[in-house]
Amino acid sequence: MNPLLSTNFDACTKCTICTEYCPVSQVRPAFAGPKQSGPDGERQRLKDAAFYSEALKYCTNCKRCEVACPSNVHIGDEIALARKKFAPYNLSPRDAILSHTDFMGSMATMAAPIVNFMANLAPTKFFLDKFLGIPSWRSFPRYANKTFRAWFSDNAPDQSVYKDTVTLFHGCFVNYNNPSLGKDALKLLNALGVGVRLLAGERCCGVPLIASGFFQDALDNATTNKASIEKALENTERIVIPSSTCTMTLRDEYPEVLQIDNSSWRDRIDLLPRYFYRLLEEGRELKFKPMEKVVAYHTACHMEKLGWTAYSIDLLRLIPGIKLILLPSLCCGIAGTYGFKKENSPTAQKIGEPLFDLIKGSGCSLVVSECETCKMQIEMCTGLPCENPVTILADALI
Amino acid sequence: MTVEPLVLGALERTTETDVIIIGGGATGAGLARDCSRRGIKCVLFERGDLATGATGRNHGLLHSGARYAVTDRDSAKECIEENYILRKIARHCVDETDGLFITLPEDDLEYQKNFIKACQDAGIAAEALEPKDAKELEPSANPSLIGAVKVPDGVIDPFRLTVANMLDAVKHGAKCYTYHEVMAILKEGARVVGVRVLDKLSKEEYEVRAQVVVNASGIWGTLIGSLAGVDIKMFPTRGTLLIMGHRINQLVINRCRKPADADILVPGDTVCLIGTTSIPIKFSQLDTTRVSYQEVELLITEGAKLCPKLTTARKIRCYAGSRPLVADEADTTGRKTSRHLVLMDHEKRDGLSGFITITGGKLITYRLMAEKATDLICEKLKLKVPCDTATAVLPGSGESPDKILRKVAPLAPTVRAAIVSRHGDLAPLVESDTPSASSLVCECELVSVGEIKHAIESLAVHNLVDLRRRVRIGMGPCQGELCVGRATGLMTAAKLCTPDKAPGELASFLEERWKGIYPLNWGETIRESEFVMWLYQSICGLTRADSPNPAPPEHLEDEAPTESP
C-alpha cells in the first residue's frame, strides 16, 4: 500500500502494551519505546522533521511490539520507515562491514582458514574493538572453506530424479558460514521426495542492511531477489528458507519497509519446518532414530512474528526419546548485527541475560532456534550448542 | 540574556482602573495588550478561561484573504495585511504552510480565473499550479483535481496567540482575571462607570470602576449589551469542525469555488481540521454547543472531496463555535450580517458614554480590531499614543527556533522540540534539565512534567481543561487516556486540587472530552473511548457520582437545526 495513504498508525489506542513487550525499553531508557517511537512519533514527524529522534536506531527491529499490539499497528515497520526517511546516511565502515554480508562472505570464504585464524587473534580483536567498534569479547562466526552454492553445484546429488521440486533460499549464513545446515535441508527434502533447486541469483535478503540504515542497498538486493523468486516460481511450487529472519524479511519487510510488491508470491515463501509439516500432513513420511537428549526450544523474535513455532515443535516431538523444553519467548539480545555494535552490546547482553539464565538452569544439552544470530549469541553466552531444527531433524533421520 | 518570568493570572483584586475589557478571547487579549502598551491601565474579565469562545473554536486558519477575495475585497485586504503582521509578531504561534485552492471536475474552472484576478487585486500572491505540480506539493489532495492555486494561507494556534497577547499585556501592567463573570454594568446617568463582577472561584461579587468599559465578548456581546441597556443585534451561527487523528495534509486545502460548507482542511499542529458548517442557533443554545451526527457526516463527505484520505483516517473529536455575526446596521431588514469588524461607540449610537463594543471580524483580524478599539479609547481618554502592536513581537516570538533550541537542553530531543514549538523564546522558563522534569505526561502531544509545572505556575491555570488549552494535554488521539491521570496528580501536588476533589476534576475533564467524541463514536474512535472508559471506570473506579455534574448528559438526542431568532 502507498505509505502516503496508509493510516495504520491511527489504530493505536495508546494502550502501551508494545512498550511493555519491548526488550530494549526494559534495559535502555534512552530508547523511548515502540509506542513513542512509532505511532506517537509518527504524528509529530508529520508535523516537523525536527521531531525525528536519533534514538530510533536503538530499535532492534525484533517486531515483538507488532506481535503484542492488539490493534495491528505495524510499529516496527514505522520505526524502520522513519529511519529510512529521516536518518542521515550511515557512513560507518563498521556498519558497512557488518551489514554487507554477501560482500564480506564472498571475500572471507575465499581465504576462510586465514580469516578464521586472523579473526580470533588478539591484535585483530583489539583493532576491531578500538577502531571499528566491535567488542573484542564477542566471538565471530567462522567462515566456511567452500560456499554452500559452490558445494551444491559441485557435489549435490542429482535433483532431477524427484518429481516435485522446491526452491531453497539458503540465506547468507548457510552460504558462507554454515553450509552443513543447507546440506541438512537437502537431506530432509530429498527424504521427503522433493528435489531442490537454488535461486538463479540469490542475494542477502537485506535485513542487516535495513538495520544499519543502508536502505538503497537493501532495495537493490530485494529487487534482484524479487526477479529471481518470480522466475523460480514459474517452475517450482514454493520457496523454502531455513532462517526465520530471511523468511520474515521476504514476506513482510519487502512490502512494508521496502515497498516491494510481493503480493503474488508472499504466501509461497515458507519456513522449512512449516513446509516439512505440510508434506507430512499430505501423507509423506520421515523416520527418525531415537535421540536421548534434553533440548530447549528458543523462540526467536522473528519466529514470534511469523507465529510458526508450533510447526518446529511438533516436528521435533516426532523424534523418539527427545525431551523438549519450551523456553518462554524472550529476546536473546543479539538482533542480527545489533549486538555486534559496541554501543549496543551492553544492551544486547542485558536483554539476553534472563534467557541465558533460563537456558543454563534448564539442564538441556542443546538449544534449538531457527535464527542464525540467536545461535551465535546463545552459543557464546551459554556455552551450549544451538542448532536449527532442520539440523536436529536431519541428524535424527534414519 | 535570561528570560524574564511572567505570571498571567492576577492575584490582587483591582477596584479602579482606566479601562475594563469584558471577554478573554483573542480580541480581548489583544485589546489588553494594545491598551497597556499605550500606557493605559486596564483589567480584563473573562467568565471562563482564555480563548473559550469563538477564539478557540475555529479552524486556526491564518487566512491569506483568498477565501474572501472574490466576494469581499476589503475583508481580503485586511486578512493579507494581518497575515503578514502575524507572521512577524507571533511566529511561535504561526505555521507558514501555504494553502491550495483546488478545482475539482465538478467545479467551474472559470471561477479560478476570477479568483486569481481578485486575489491579485487584493494584494494576495496567488500562483496557478499545474495539477501535476499541485499533487506533488500536496500528495493528500484529491488526485482528480483539474486546477490548483497556491496562496499564502497558514495556520495559527489561537490558544497560544491569546496567551501570548495576554502575557505581553501583563508585562505592560494589565491585569487578567479569568473565571470572573460580569453580572452588571454600573451606570451613573447616561454614563457607564464600571462593572460588578462575580469571582466564580471564591463566589464573591465586587465592583470595579473605570472610565471606559469595552464589550469584547464575541457573540455574548448581545447579552453584555443588554446589561448596559443597549440593543446589539447578532445572529449566532454555529460552525462545526471535525479533528482528524493526525496531520494528513501539509498545506491548507480549500475548494476554489464560492465559499460553502466543509471546504477548508487545515493542518493544525499534530492534527488536521475539516470545517465548517453554518447553522443558525438560538441564544439559549450558545453555552450548550452540540454537534449532530448529520453535521459530522456532512463534514466527512464534503471533506473527502478535498482529501480522500479523510474517509479512512481516524477522527478524534468534533467541536462547534458560534460566529459573532452582527446585523448590518445599514440594512433595514435586520437580516443582513457583516463579516467585518464592528466597532460601536455607544455614546454616538445610543447616547451611553463610557461604553464601547468591538465585535464581528475574524481571528486573523483580532489585532486590527484591538487597534481600532484602542484608538477610540484613546480618543475618549484624550490620549495621543500611536499603536505599536503591528511591529512589536509577542512574548515567545522574539527569537528563531534554532537559537532557542540551543538554550534548552532537556534529555530527549523530541521533548525539547515540543517545548520550543509551544513556548517559543519563553522555552528556557520550562524546567527541563532533570529526568523527572522531562518525563512525559501527555505522550501524544509530548507534554513534559516541566511544561505542566510551568503552565500551572505562570499561565493562569485553574483546572485540567485550562491546562489543556495551554499545553495541549489530552488533545491527541487518546483524548486524555494516559495524561489526565498524571496531570491530576501534578495539579494536586501544586495545590490547585485536593485529593478528595481529584476524581471530580478528572471526571469533568473526561466528560468535556466525551462531548466532542460521542457524535463520531465509531471505528477507531469507539475502540479508544471504550478503552478509556475501561481504564477509568472499570479499573480506577471512577463513576458518574464523582462528576461535578452527575446528571446524565442530555446530548443523546439530535437537535434539529433551528431558525435564527
Mean of all residue pLDDT scores within chain A = 94
- Residues B540-553 have a mean pLDDT of 74
> What count of CB pairs under 8 Å joins A to B?
82
Taking only the tens place, the pLDDT of each residue in B199-252 is 999 999 999 999 999 999 999 999 999 999 999 999 988 999 999 999 999 999
Q: Does a structural domain hold residue A34?
A: yes
In sequence order, which residues have a C-beta less than 8 Å from that of residue B17 and are 6 or more positions away?
A: B41, B42, B43, B175, B208, B209, B210
- The verdict on residue A324 lying in a domain is yes
Alpha-carbon dihedral sign for residues A219, A220, A222, A227: positive
Q: Does residue B25 have a pLDDT over 60? A: yes
ipTM of the complex: 0.90
User: Taking residues B472-476, what's their average pLDDT?
Assistant: 93
What tens digit of pLDDT does each residue of B481-518 get? 989 999 999 999 999 999 999 999 999 999 889 989 99
Q: For residues A119, A121, A122 and A125, what is the CA-based torsion angle, rounded to 10 degrees?
A: -10
A111-148 pLDDT, tens per residue?
Answer: 888 888 888 888 888 888 888 899 988 888 899 999 99
Which residues of chain A lie closer than 8 angstroms to B440, CB-CB?
Answer: 36
CA–CA separation, A382 and A360 (whole Å): 6
| Residue in the block written with cell 524546567 | B431
Question: Residue A82's domain is classified under what CATH number?
Answer: 1.10.1060.10
Q: Chain B: nearest CA to A77, how far in angstroms?
A: 18
pLDDT digits (tens, 9 = 90+) for B91-113: 999 999 999 999 999 999 999 99
CB-CB under 8 Å, B412 with A50: no
Residue A28: give the domain boundaries: 8-86
Q: How much is the pLDDT for A259?
A: 94
> What pLDDT score was predicted for residue B335?
64
Say if residues B558 and B293 touch (Cβ distance below 8 Å): yes
Instruction: Choose one of A70, A86, A102: the last residue of a domain.
Output: A86
Q: Cβ–Cβ of B413/A53 closer than 8 Å?
A: yes
* pLDDT surpassing 70 at residue A4: no
Mean per-residue pLDDT over chain B, rounded: 91
Q: Please give the tally of structural domains in chain A.
A: 2
Q: Per the CB < 8 Å rule, is A13 touching B527? A: yes
Give A2's pLDDT tier (boundaries 50, 70, 90): very low
Q: Sheet harboring A386-387: ordered strands across?
A: A323-326, A294-297, A366-368, A386-387
What pLDDT, on a 0 to 100 scale, did the predictor assign at position B333? 66
Residue that finishes a domain, picked among A86, A101, A135: A86
Q: Which residues lie below 8 Å from residue A49, measured CB to CB, with a gap of 6+?
A: A86
Residue B332 is predicted with a pLDDT of: 66
Q: Most B CBs within 10 Å: which of A10, A69, A73, as the mutation test of the B interface? A: A10
Residue B565 has pLDDT above 50, yes or no: no
> Sheet harboring A164-168: ordered strands across?
A194-198, A164-168, A239-241, A269-271
Interchain pair A47, B477: CB under 8 A = no
Residue A47 to residue B313, Cβ atoms within 8 A:
no
Residue A72 lies in a domain: yes
Q: What is the pLDDT of residue B556?
A: 44
In-domain check, residue A126: no
User: B93-153+237-320, what's its fold?
Assistant: D-Amino Acid Oxidase; Chain A, domain 2 (3.30.9)
Question: Quick one: CATH architecture of B16-54+159-233+334-381?
Answer: 3-Layer(bba) Sandwich (3.50)
Contact between A53 and B414 using a beta-carbon 8 Å cutoff: yes
Which residues on B lie below 8 Å from A5 (Cβ)?
A: 309, 312
Q: How far is A86 from chain B (nearest CA, A)?
A: 14
Residue ranges of domains in chain B = 16-54+159-233+334-381, 93-153+237-320, 401-546
pLDDT of residue A88: 86
pLDDT exceeds 70 at position B85: yes
pLDDT band at B561 (very low <50, low <70, confident <90, very high): very low
CB contact under 8 A, A11 and B313: no
What whole-number percentage of chain B has pLDDT above 70? 95
Give the one of A9, A15, A35 whose C-beta lies nearest to B531's C-beta. Answer: A15
Interchain contact, A5 vs B309, CB within 8 Å: yes
Say which CATH number the domain at A311 has.
3.40.50
Q: What share of chain B has pLDDT > 90, as a percent? A: 77
- pLDDT at position B564 is 41
Q: Is residue A169 part of a domain?
A: no
Q: B560: pLDDT confidence band, cut at 50, 70 and 90?
A: very low
Q: Which of B414, B524, B527 sits opposite A44 (nearest CB)?
A: B414
Per residue in A44-87, pLDDT tens? 999 999 899 999 999 999 999 999 999 999 999 999 999 999 99
Q: Kindly indicate the confidence band of residue B353, based on its pLDDT and cuts at 50, 70 and 90.
A: very high
The pairs formed by B427-434 with CB atoms below 8 angstroms and a separation of 24 or more are B428/B2, B428/B3, B428/B404, B429/B3, B429/B5, B429/B454, B429/B458, B430/B454, B432/B408, B433/B409
pLDDT tens for residues A91-118?
Answer: 888 999 899 999 988 888 888 888 888 8
3-state DSSP assignment of residue A72 = coil
Under the phi-then-psi rule, with left for phi > 0, alpha for psi from -120 to 50, and beta for the rest, what region is B173?
Answer: left
User: From the list B412, B413, B478, which residue is nearest A14 (CB)?
Assistant: B478
Distance CA A339, CA A23 (A): 13
> Using one digit for the tens of pLDDT, what is the confidence trace for B357-411?
999 999 999 999 999 999 999 999 999 999 999 999 999 999 888 888 888 876 7
- Using CB atoms, which residue from A35, A51, A71 is nearest to B414? A51
User: Model confidence over A323-342: pLDDT tens digits?
Assistant: 999 999 999 999 999 999 99
Q: Which residue does chain A place closest to B527, by CA atoms?
A: A13
